[in-house]
Chains A and B, each alone.
Chain A
């Protein structure tokens, strides 16, 4: 049932992207996400597409697995495409029917927006697909460090995130177990009115919440029993190492950022 969710899942590997420093990956993604919105010029979208495709190929994620995971997102993207296609006016008329008129402007606008969405989702998934949760939180904590001076509890935030990520698979497993147990007792999740179907999930949600609270309490006790304390005095066992490949990747994305700004200003 939940086999094909790719968001938040890590696939072990040894690719170029896998070996990158998580800080570099986060930086690249942030640059990409911000500057892709700077210009709507087709050339910018095309270059962004090449960057995203290159990152995807370098990450060596099995293509079929990726496609299956994208199924749900594809619906959203398609919906957005249609909205832009029908709602945007401008340019020569491509198709005229009594119900609606489609303009060339609508088509290009729809395509660009759909492509952008696709690239954003792909890049965001690439991060979790190629980075272990531990590395990801370490990277995030390091990037948030400057904000600590402003009173942001960076360590606690990172810890919260790593605990949340750590327990996603556990909760999924638990949910599947309870789902099966209630199915064995004749629960029916696929028939009846919408209200009935929503009600059918109560026997899954209640035990799941009860279990989560119990687990959270156990974890808190275990951490306290071992004298856990966050903060500056805490040293790390795993150290992040910035390598040449990280500089190279960030440089490529920085160039992309400069390019989008130039296109915006001069074209």
Chain B
């Protein structure tokens, strides 16, 4: 789904002494069927921004268009119901949303809410669970008996079971070990590749994830978009990134160090791991 934010301002706790601006006059455009990474420092407004995408928050001023839906401050909750079926949302620590007695029923909660019959919903739940790699013998167990990693997979299945067109991920790998992070990220990658009408918006502060998976990057700072474009365009603006408290991915940093130490002309902007390796091999070839 195409996303277009026009002059969006969001104020937390409006009309109280605790008033705080989350977003100020934000302009952003995210193309259809893309994998977009939203990066920014803590408090830059990235979580606020993505919560506008399915109407969990409504802009205080300005408007945001998501697919065919237009969300402004006066949009009614009812109109947002259909939008939420199209936009799936995986929050930080999604396992905190589990509540049902069994794993399968928890996953079927979303589809039932969106009007599927119980049978169809359970069908969807089974598909989603097998996609995230939860084996069938766990279906009737309580979600609270599972391990942390399994709980997170079940929670993610609960979102995927709704068949969204746009999947919003708010730091979905927080608190996982490196291997778990890798597994979850490639799970989303597989989901994205499986159908070319699907889009992903990934909120992250890990540049490596943005470099490895996204084809669009939006850099946020102090509630506005500081920089946007392809990963190549964004990572070539190292100075702007540093100003926003961010850095280039490790792969780029490695090549930069190599270039500085060897005084050889090395193209440091190879952020995909494979490209980085290729660049290093060709550099080593030069040496010998």
Say yes or no: is A245 at the interface (Cβ < 8 Å to chain B). Answer: no
- Structural contact, A177 and B89, CB atoms closer than 8 A: no
Most chain B beta carbons < 10 A, residue from A174, A183, A206: A183
Which of chain B's residues has its CB closest to A203's CB?
B99
CB neighbours of A186 from chain B (8 A): 81, 84-85, 110, 113-114, 162
Give the CA-CA distance A184 to B81 in the complex, in Å.
Answer: 9
When A186-B81, A188-B81 are in contact, do A181 and B113 touch as well, CB less than 8 Å? no
Interface size class of B (residues with CB under 8 A): 20 to 34
- Chain B window 126-168, contacts with chain A (Cβ cutoff 8 Å), 1 for yes, 0 for no: 0000000000000000001000000000000011001000000
Say yes or no: is A180 at the interface (Cβ < 8 Å to chain B). Answer: yes
Say yes or no: is B91 at the interface (Cβ < 8 Å to chain A). Answer: yes
Give the CA-CA distance A4 to B15 in the complex, in Å.
Answer: 9
Say yes or no: is B77 at the interface (Cβ < 8 Å to chain A). Answer: yes
Q: Which of A136-189 contact B (CB under 8 A)?
A: 174, 177-178, 180-188
Contact of A65 among B15, B85, B94, B114 (CB under 8 A): B15
CB neighbours of B51 from chain A (8 A): 180
- Structural contact, A188 and B113, CB atoms closer than 8 A: yes
- Chain A window 1-32, contacts with chain B (Cβ cutoff 8 Å), 1 for yes, 0 for no: 00110000001000000000000000000000
- Structural contact, B96 and A184, CB atoms closer than 8 A: no
Give the CA-CA distance A80 to B91 in the complex, in Å.
Answer: 44
Say yes or no: is B63 at the interface (Cβ < 8 Å to chain A). Answer: no
* Smallest beta-carbon distance A214→chain B, Å: 10
- Structural contact, A211 and B96, CB atoms closer than 8 A: yes
Say yes or no: is B16 at the interface (Cβ < 8 Å to chain A). Answer: yes
Most chain A beta carbons < 10 A, residue from B54, B113, B114, B162: B113
CB neighbours of A211 from chain B (8 A): 96
Give the CA-CA distance A178 to B96 in the complex, in Å.
Answer: 7
When A177-B96, A181-B94 are in contact, do A65 and B88 touch as well, CB less than 8 Å? no
- Structural contact, A181 and B97, CB atoms closer than 8 A: yes
Give the CA-CA distance A35 to B96 in the complex, in Å.
Answer: 48
Say yes or no: is B56 at the interface (Cβ < 8 Å to chain A). Answer: yes
- Structural contact, B144 and A210, CB atoms closer than 8 A: yes
Contact of B15 among A68, A188, A202 (CB under 8 A): A68
Contact of A3 among B16, B91, B94, B110 (CB under 8 A): B16
Give the CA-CA distance A211 to B97 in the complex, in Å.
Answer: 10
- Structural contact, B97 and A207, CB atoms closer than 8 A: yes
Say yes or no: is B118 at the interface (Cβ < 8 Å to chain A). Answer: no
Contact of B91 among A62, A68, A180, A203 (CB under 8 A): A180
Say yes or no: is B261 at the interface (Cβ < 8 Å to chain A). Answer: no
- Structural contact, A185 and B162, CB atoms closer than 8 A: yes
Contact of B17 among A62, A183, A202, A206 (CB under 8 A): A62
Give the CA-CA distance A180 to B114 in the complex, in Å.
Answer: 16
* Smallest beta-carbon distance A121→chain B, Å: 18
- Structural contact, B56 and A180, CB atoms closer than 8 A: yes
When A180-B56, A186-B84, A210-B144 are in contact, do A203 and B89 touch as well, CB less than 8 Å? no
* Smallest beta-carbon distance A178→chain B, Å: 6
Contact of B96 among A11, A181, A185, A202 (CB under 8 A): A181
Say yes or no: is A64 at the interface (Cβ < 8 Å to chain B). Answer: yes
Say yes or no: is A235 at the interface (Cβ < 8 Å to chain B). Answer: no
Say yes or no: is A190 at the interface (Cβ < 8 Å to chain B). Answer: yes
- Structural contact, A207 and B158, CB atoms closer than 8 A: no
CB neighbours of B109 from chain A (8 A): 185, 203
Most chain A beta carbons < 10 A, residue from B17, B51, B56: B17
CB neighbours of B159 from chain A (8 A): 184-185
CB neighbours of B114 from chain A (8 A): 186
CB neighbours of A210 from chain B (8 A): 144
Which of chain B's residues has its CB closest to A5's CB?
B16
Q: Which of B35-91 contact A (CB under 8 A)?
A: 51, 54, 56, 77, 81, 84-85, 87-89, 91
Ranked 4 nearest A-B pairs via Cβ: A186-B113, A206-B99, A185-B110, A184-B89
Please name 22 pairs of A and B residues whose Cβ atoms are closer than 8 Å in the assembled complex, sorted by A.
A3-B15, A3-B16, A4-B15, A62-B17, A64-B15, A65-B17, A68-B16, A177-B96, A180-B91, A181-B94, A183-B84, A184-B54, A184-B88, A184-B89, A184-B159, A185-B110, A185-B159, A187-B113, A188-B81, A188-B113, A203-B99, A211-B96
Residues of A that sit less than 8 Å from B by CB: 3-4, 11, 62, 64-65, 68, 174, 177-178, 180-188, 190, 202-204, 206-207, 210-211
